[in-house]
Amino acid sequence: MSVAFSPAGDLAILVELEGEIGPALSARLLALDRLITESVQGVVEIVPAFRTLLVYYDPLVIGYQGLCDAIAGLEPRAESGTAPQSRTIELPCCYEDPELGPDLDAVAERLGLSRADVIALHSGAEYLVYFIGFAPGQPYLTGTPQRLEIPRLATPRTKTAPGSVGIGGTQSCIYAVESPGGFWILGRTPVPVYDRTAAQPILLRAGDHLRFRAVDRGEYDDLAAAVAARSYSPVIA
């Protein structure tokens, strides 16, 4: 079977698709997510990951086996189905200030690159948001240029500021809240990816494409003030 089911407690099902983790499998997952949401009564919430969907359901509306059967019937349509329309989002990022990008020099030295090379490579790439997890609003991003692939920190930080933009392994990361973490921090964006006071608290969603625009410290501070005043929104296409 190209889809497998496992119970996750008494209120959820873990749906796993076959295939190599990558953009094609991610698109299938999101297409299946959309089909389930539009077609199956009793589904409460769906949480995507790299190759799975965690489907929460109301057992008073639909039972475990009924939900498995419904999803199995929809899965073949996800092959040719259309995933929700993706967005391209541009976020400003200040790389040049050591306060905001404390690991930039260490990354450049370890990879045999100049500071300018690291900034150009990271800000010149396009990243795919596979899913949101670990912390509220925190995106799992792929698309880091191969030249910037680097093992995560041997000793993770106990605190990393929200908005910090980092790399580790093949992934890039934006810290949504202050938290421990093992990514090398190259810079920081003044735009929160999670704001619990906003009408839409989580900025990014699975399937989005993301680009970073390099800004200097002066522009970063101006944008941070505009964000605080609710007078700035990121560029979304």
71-97 burial: b if 16+ Cβ within 10 Å, else e: beebbeebeebebeebeebebbbbbbb
Strand partners of residue 202? 194
How many independent structural domains does the chain possess?
A: 2
Looking at the structure, tell me whether residues 125 and 66 fall in a common domain: no
Residue 110, token pair as written in the block: 């370890």
Distance CA 78, CA 229 (A): 42
pLDDT given for residue 168 in this prediction = 96
Choosing from 27, 61, 80, the residue where a domain stops is 80
Q: How far is CA 160 from the centre of its chain?
A: 17
Looking at the structure, tell me whether residues 138 and 185 fall in a common domain: yes
Choosing from 32, 54, 80, the residue where a domain stops is 80
Looking at the structure, tell me whether residues 136 and 159 fall in a common domain: yes
Looking at the structure, tell me whether residues 70 and 112 fall in a common domain: no
The answer to whether 53 touches 15, Cβ cutoff 8 Å, is: yes
pLDDT given for residue 124 in this prediction = 97
Looking at the structure, tell me whether residues 130 and 222 fall in a common domain: yes
Looking at the structure, tell me whether residues 106 and 217 fall in a common domain: yes
Q: How confident is the model at residue 85 (pLDDT cuts 50, 70, 90)?
A: confident
pLDDT given for residue 1 in this prediction = 54
Find the CATH number of the domain harbouring 205: 2.40.100.10
The answer to whether 140 touches 130, Cβ cutoff 8 Å, is: yes
The answer to whether 50 touches 58, Cβ cutoff 8 Å, is: no
Nearest by Cα to 106 from 90, 93, 118: 118
Q: What is the mean pLDDT of residues 121-125?
A: 97
Looking at the structure, tell me whether residues 101 and 179 fall in a common domain: yes
Query: Structural domain of residue 63, as residue ranges?
Result: 3-80
Number of CB atoms found within 10 A of residue 30's CB:
24
Q: How confident is the model at residue 81 (pLDDT cuts 50, 70, 90)?
A: low
In percent, the amount of the chain with pLDDT more than 90 equals 89
Q: How confident is the model at residue 31 (pLDDT cuts 50, 70, 90)?
A: very high
Residue 221, token pair as written in the block: 């501070």
Q: What is the mean pLDDT of residues 84-94?
A: 93
Distance CA 129, CA 86 (A): 10
Dihedral Cα 211, 214, 218, 224, nearest 10 deg: 20
Looking at the structure, tell me whether residues 110 and 31 fall in a common domain: no
pLDDT given for residue 199 in this prediction = 87
Choosing from 80, 102, 123, the residue where a domain stops is 80
Q: How confident is the model at residue 80 (pLDDT cuts 50, 70, 90)?
A: low
H runs (alpha helix) in 15-140: 23-39, 64-80, 104-111, 115-123
Nearest by Cα to 57 from 78, 43, 72, 68: 43
Mean pLDDT, the chain, as a whole number?
94
Least confident of 39-53, 82-96, 119-133: 82-96
Residue 54 has pLDDT above 80, yes or no: yes
Looking at the structure, tell me whether residues 72 and 97 fall in a common domain: no
CA pseudo-torsion sign 222, 115, 193, 158: negative
Looking at the structure, tell me whether residues 109 and 198 fall in a common domain: yes
